[in-house]
Amino acid sequence: MMLLEFRAVFSKIVPSIWRGCFTADMPIYPLNDPPLSEFQLLEIQEVERRAIKNISTSMLIQWNSENHLTLLLARLNKQTNRTVLFVSVDDFIDEETHSMSALFAEAERTNMIIYLNDAQSLLANHFDEVAVLKKTIVNYPGLVILALNDTKQPIDSDFWPEYQLDMTSTSNR
User: For the segment 18-44, what is each residue's pLDDT rounded down to a tens digit?
Assistant: 777 889 999 887 777 788 888 888 888
pLDDT digits (tens, 9 = 90+) for 96-153: 555 778 888 989 999 999 998 877 767 666 566 667 777 888 888 889 988 876 555 5
Q: Which of 3-7, 48-52, 78-82, 101-105 has the lowest mean pLDDT?
A: 3-7
Range 80-91 average pLDDT: 86
Mean predicted lDDT score pLDDT of the chain: 77
Per CATH, domain 2-27+36-153 is 3.40.50.620: no
Alpha helix positions (H), the chain? 2-9, 38-52, 66-80, 89-92, 97-109, 120-123, 127-139
Predicted local confidence at residue 133, as pLDDT = 75
